[in-house]
Structure 1
Amino acid sequence: MANMQLRYLAQARSGDKGNTVNVALFAPNDDLYHLFVEQVTCERVKAHFAGLVEGEVTRYLLPNVRAINFICREALNGGGSASIRMDNLGKCFSSNLLRMEVKVPDNSWW
């Protein structure tokens, strides 16, 4: 098994509403979708966003489009107008999630 960042394997999109961030992860094929379902869990996402996401992370599986949607609560330090963060919106969360590493079989070509 080899570690590989999601950015080499997937696409992602994110957005925000208030103090909540929505991050969707998209797999290009069924094999990678199943690998993501197995390895990209709520616990790992929350740990990956340590210091940013203070609340609950909920995961929704969308197998018909090979996507996983994460809802991250208390993720924007109060939200756009309340936050003192430099980037107080959720748009950067997708790029950040794509830095997470997953284990892939050594002999796989994705």
Structure 2
Amino acid sequence: MKLWEIAHSRTGDKGNISNVSLIAYDIKDYELLKEKVTPEVVKQWFKEIVKGEVVRYELPQLGAMNFVMYDALGGGVTRSLALDKHGKSLSSYLLDIDI
């Protein structure tokens, strides 16, 4: 199953750091998400983009996680040559992971 079947996501940025949330539609799916979507899985999924560390922050009361990805935006908005300088499409890309 794809993540988008049981969760949605939003993305933010600050400098060269991308912040991607993963929020379960049903809180009952949170434990599955926590088990399957580890920082290591996210780092591997974004290996062509994320050059730094991936840190996961858990919000179990909300059925959500937040992944902070360092060195992820090609130097940041003002330096990147990427078409999506803010990394807003990274949330859609995350949701394409098979679990």
Moved more, 60-69 or 23-32: 23-32
Q: Is the aligned partner of 1:18 residue 2:10?
A: no
Aligned to 2:94: 97
Q: If you compute each CA radius of gyration, which structure gives the higher value, 1 or 2?
A: 1
CA offsets 1:20-63 (integer angstroms, 9 cap, x no match)? 00000001223310000001000000011111000000001001
Moved more, 62-71 or 86-95: 86-95
AA at the equivalent of 2:33: F
Counting matched residue pairs gives 99
Unaligned 5+ segments in structure 2 are none
Aligned to 2:58: 61
Q: Distance in 2 between matches of 1:84 and 1:26?
A: 30
Q: Provide the identity percentage.
A: 45
Give 1:9 deviation, angstroms. Answer: 1.2
Q: Which of 85, 89, 92 is the equivalent residue of 1:88?
A: 85
Q: Hey, which bits of structure 1, 4+ residues long, moved more than 6 A?
A: none
Aligned to 1:29: 26
TM-score normalized by the length of structure 1:
0.87
- Give the root-mean-square deviation of aligned CA atoms: 0.8
Q: Is the 8 A contact 2:6 2:26 kept in 1?
A: no
